[in-house]
Structure 1
Amino acid sequence: MKNAASNLIMGVTLSCISMAINSGIGDRIVLAKSTNSQNCDIFAYVTDTDPKGLNVRSGASINNKILGQIPINETVKIIAAAGDWVQITDASDGFPGTGWVFVPKLGISTRGYGTNGVDLYASTSQQSRKIRRVPSSVSIKLLGCQGDWAQVEYEGIRGWLAREDQCGAALTTCS
């Protein structure tokens, strides 16, 4: 009787582990334990040239299920960041829900129209050191976000771009 109960418990345990691995729950548990996501509130646009569009996933990993795709140049709202992944919602076309995308497949541009450019800051405060002046209306590499600040790279210099200097639309100047 004792062996039968032990075998039953072992079988149930292995079934639960198998279900967690195959359903992607394990990836989400590992992600929750291993990364600290940052809340964000910025817009960006899809730069992925894949004809199918940018994959939107159920979690911050290529191992997570693909929920849908978003076409190139469409605008998305970024609501969180975890490593090289951002959680998006409100895509302007192609995907109606919320999911995770690989941040190098997104872009952002600078504003500053009619000026000599915008400032990159050392941290998420306009009182922090200004580390670079970036021309207005140029595309820059999006690295991540925190609150309404975008972490970017321009000509090898990394810094933070204030909300009023960001343009998250590919096909307009955001003026």
Structure 2
Amino acid sequence: MTDAAGTPTGRTHRRGDPDFPDGLFHLVSAVCVVRADGLVLITRRAVTKDWPLSWEFPAGSALAGETSVDAAVRELREETGLEVPADSLEPVGRVTEESALLDLYVTRVRQATGLVLDPDEVSDAAWVTLAEVHRLCDGGRMAGPWVERLAILGDALARAAGR
């Protein structure tokens, strides 16, 4: 767990367990993968997950002792099979949620063929424009938390992804 500034506290609390301590947060990391043609990777959540069959950027909670960047690299690899170096992640921004700090990163890949999706986490993946991501969001097809996240980080994401 971290404090509001993202500083690790040394405490742990399983996400989803009751009595989450006030003023503390778990760290969530997400990655927007940008191909050379400008398309971005989104994944569709597995039917067994919260927000089933909704779209999102690959994301997940940091494990105890893991940095935000480490968690982003691990989650991307686990969910999609894509391996990217930690130093390729460019921070887009942070959103403070009720009990989580979400860090969004951009990484660029020349080619991203042969995705290997984890069926426990991801049911599908697609390469789309950022405009399509916003249409999915407006149409209620993105996972609920992404509506506010993109409202806050959308402009910064567009700038970072467009470089």
Q: Quick check: TM above 0.5?
A: no
TM-score per shorter chain, which class? under 0.3
More helix by share: 2
Instruction: Give the structure with the higher percent strand.
Output: 1
Max Rg structure: 1
> What TM-score comes out, normalization by structure 1 length?
0.26
TM-score, normalising length: structure 2: 0.27
Determine which structure has greater relative contact order: mean sequence separation of CA pairs < 8 Å that are 6+ residues apart, divided by chain length: 2
